[in-house]
């Protein structure tokens, strides 16, 4: 039951823009809700699932998707680091995520505390227009 509630609590990214086109809907989840640092890092398995009705582009460099790692500090979320964003203009790679499909990847977290991920996506691979938040997770 707790897993279902936490999965439901993971944010769906939507972008309506006042049109009648289908919205972008992504579910971003981690494989667990608690991790332990081993040799200075915790490996977090992330799944991005397209639960909407339209295809979505996940882009990133050197590999997709654009991901921002956030940490809860003193009552608010702060950016800890990012993946797939630095060399975006140089050599961006894109994955088409069709409705009902999933993409899995791994993120390394190197600081203890409460974390979440922001995944950027869009219909156009050059201009991410939606942000999906993962469930929150702890690293000890």
What are the tokens at 13? 């990214």
Q: How far is CA 14 from CA 5, 26, 132, in A?
A: 20, 8, 8
Which residue range forms the structural domain that includes residue 89? 2-139
Q: What is the pLDDT of residue 8?
A: 36
Q: What is the pLDDT of residue 83?
A: 84
The CATH code of the domain that includes 82 is 2.60.40.10
Q: What is the pLDDT of residue 79?
A: 96
Q: What is the pLDDT of residue 22?
A: 61
Run means of pLDDT, 10 residues per run, the chain, 140 residues:
39 42 86 97 97 92 91 96 72 89 96 97 80 97
How many domains are contained in the chain? 1
Question: How far apart are the C-alpha atoms of 83 and 85, rounded to whole Å?
Answer: 6
């Amino acid at each position: 039951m707790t897993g279902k509630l936490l999965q439901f609590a993971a944010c769906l990214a939507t972008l309506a823009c006042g049109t009648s086109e289908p919205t972008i809907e992504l579910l971003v989840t981690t494989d667990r809700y608690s991790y332990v640092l081993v040799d200075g890092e915790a490996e977090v398995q992330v799944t991005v699932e397209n639960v909407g009705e339209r295809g979505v582009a996940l882009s990133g460099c050197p590999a997709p998707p654009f991901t921002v790692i956030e940490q809860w500090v003193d009552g608010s979320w702060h950016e800890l680091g990012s993946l797939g964003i630095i060399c975006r203009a140089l050599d961006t790679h894109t994955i088409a995520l069709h409705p009902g499909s999933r993409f899995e990847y791994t993120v390394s977290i190197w600081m203890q505390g409460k974390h979440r991920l922001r995944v950027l996506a869009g219909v156009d691979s050059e201009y991410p227009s939606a942000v999906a938040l993962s469930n929150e997770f702890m690293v000890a």
